[in-house]
Amino acid sequence: MGMTITEKILAKAAGKACLGPGDNVWVKVDILLTHDVCGPGTIGVFHREFGANARVWNPSGVVIIPDHYIFTADQKAHRNVDTLRSFVKQQGLPYFYDPGTRTYKGVCHVALPEEGHVRPGEVIFGTDSHTCTHGALGAFATGIGNTDAGFILGTGKLLIKVPKTLRFRIEGTIPEYLMAKDIILRIIGDIGFDGASYCAMEFTGEAIRRLSIEERMTICNMAIEAGGKNGIIEPDDKTFAYVQQRSRKPFEAIYGDGNSRVESERVYDAATLEPCVAEPHVPSNYATARSRREVKLDRAYIGSCTGGKLTDFLAAARILRGRKVTIPTFLVPATTEVAEGLIREEIHGKSLVQIFADAGCEDIAPPSCAACLGGPEDTYGRTRSNEAVISTTNRNFPGRMGSKQSRIYLASPLTVAASAVAGHIEDPRDYL
């Protein structure tokens, strides 16, 4: 019996010829990612367990990207970044993207691939549930807690259970009004908020191959919102072009076997999918955008690892060019590279920055996680009361963006932009 791409990556990392779902294996780790809210605790576990003078297993395997609480007056947040700085110095870590310096990047899951730390066939763990994003480049990537991360810092290994694979085959061409976000929200709506618990979500098919790398990242990013252990897409020429521009380290692309066994397979035709939202308060609360036009909105938000990439802003700009928003519209590019893209990229001779300014959006904020997860009281875009927000982010839990009373509708950047113009949930088809 053949193995899926997830099984083959784990087999290689475990030094085994074959393995299957349910096996518990020790895998060698290529990259450990951490950030400002879980890094200090991870470092605390590492020193507590391995000693004050312990050294990390491989300095170039540790990537530290502070992104959560950066632009805040919160003193503990500043202290936490200082804790990272001392650790980086003590351990001589080469990959640290320090706030307030030219190396600062922003949101770790967009920065990690941008900076060339994601390669096909590798094993990536991160102290953040959206680490599953990196499966978009054909890697095995999943989120873990501080204790497991502390263990990796000391040993470079982790004991994990091999997940079953759920395969999602998206066929056909992608209509211009449809985005990766619509595809993944539909899948989560179909299988449920815990529909992929403990499982690998493998995305394949013609429509997936047609997606850009950034759009593939959106799909894999939200695997965790169905409870998935990892999301994964087999690498292809687009993957190799993206990776080789950013990393000189050799890698071995891994593909699933033709006769691999999966737990289930669902097939979709992209042409029949619709612009949609996830209504409060779980990401599986699917509804088509056009069926929810009566929902009045107070705010729109474009940002995060899910919806703050250059592709996301380009999509929003297609709709906002020559139009005005009617509700406060917050824009937070995920990284400094995205922020530079907003200045550089043009549609019909106008930069994205200019298009957003002319449309009446709020001033573009500096890159960080910002209000995607609420954060300290002074976080940019944080909700304060019972606002109805339409957002390109990934979670609409109670209180997720700050106030417990606010209601968050998740949607694609196209749908968010159309809704920002309309002032209520809107289907973007009439705006393209």
Give least dist CB 87 to another protein, A: 12
C-alpha radius of gyration, the chain, whole number: 21
Residue with Cβ nearer another protein (228 or 235) = 228
Chain-centre distance for alpha carbon 308 = 9
CA-nearest of 367, 374, 416 to 103 is: 367
Residue with Cβ nearer another protein (131 or 311) = 131
Q: What share of the chain is helix, strand, coil (3-state, %, to 5)?
A: 40, 20, 45
> Is residue 77 a contact point for another protein (CB under 8 A)?
yes
Yes or no: say if 56 and 45 are a contact pair by the CB < 8 Å rule: no
Among 15, 22, 44, 94, binds another protein (CB under 8 A): 44
* Stretch 120-179 residues interacting with another protein (CB under 8 A): 127-129, 131, 143-148, 151, 155
Residue with Cβ nearer another protein (344 or 404) = 404
CA-nearest of 244, 3, 296 to 140 is: 3
Yes or no: say if 332 and 401 are a contact pair by the CB < 8 Å rule: no
Rounded CA separation 289/162 (Å): 37
* Stretch 283-312 residues interacting with another protein (CB under 8 A): none
Give the full edge-to-edge strand order of the sheet including 299-303: 286-288, 276-278, 407-411, 388-391, 299-303, 329-332
Binding-residue total with another protein (CB under 8 A): 47
> Is residue 82 a contact point for another protein (CB under 8 A)?
no
Among 82, 176, 194, 340, binds another protein (CB under 8 A): 194
Residue with Cβ nearer another protein (48 or 344) = 48
Which positions ≥6 away from 67 have C-beta within 8 Å?
Answer: 35, 36, 105, 106, 107, 108, 111, 367, 368, 369
Letters for 373-392 (x = contact with another protein by CB under 8 A, - = none) are xxxxx---------------
For 233, which DSSP code?
A: -
Residue with Cβ nearer another protein (34 or 260) = 34
Give least dist CB 49 to another protein, A: 5
Give least dist CB 399 to another protein, A: 5
Backbone angles phi, psi at 303, to 5 degrees: 175, -170
Rounded CA separation 16/138 (Å): 19
Residue with Cβ nearer another protein (69 or 268) = 69
Residue with Cβ nearer another protein (239 or 284) = 284
Give least dist CB 50 to another protein, A: 9
Give least dist CB 218 to another protein, A: 18
Tell whether the torsion through CA atoms of 102, 107, 113 and 117 is positive or negative.
positive
> Is residue 83 a contact point for another protein (CB under 8 A)?
yes
* Stretch 196-255 residues interacting with another protein (CB under 8 A): 197-198, 224, 227, 229
Among 15, 49, 343, 386, binds another protein (CB under 8 A): 49
Residue with Cβ nearer another protein (75 or 245) = 75
Which positions ≥6 away from 125 have C-beta within 8 Å?
Answer: 29, 31, 32, 33, 131, 141, 142, 143, 144, 148, 149, 152, 158
Letters for 257-286 (x = contact with another protein by CB under 8 A, - = none) are -------------------------x----
Rounded CA separation 126/145 (Å): 8
* Site for another protein, rule CB under 8 A: 37-38, 40-41, 44-45, 48-49, 68-69, 74, 76-77, 80, 83, 127-129, 131, 143-148, 151, 155, 193-194, 197-198, 224, 227, 229, 282, 373-377, 395, 397-400, 402, 404
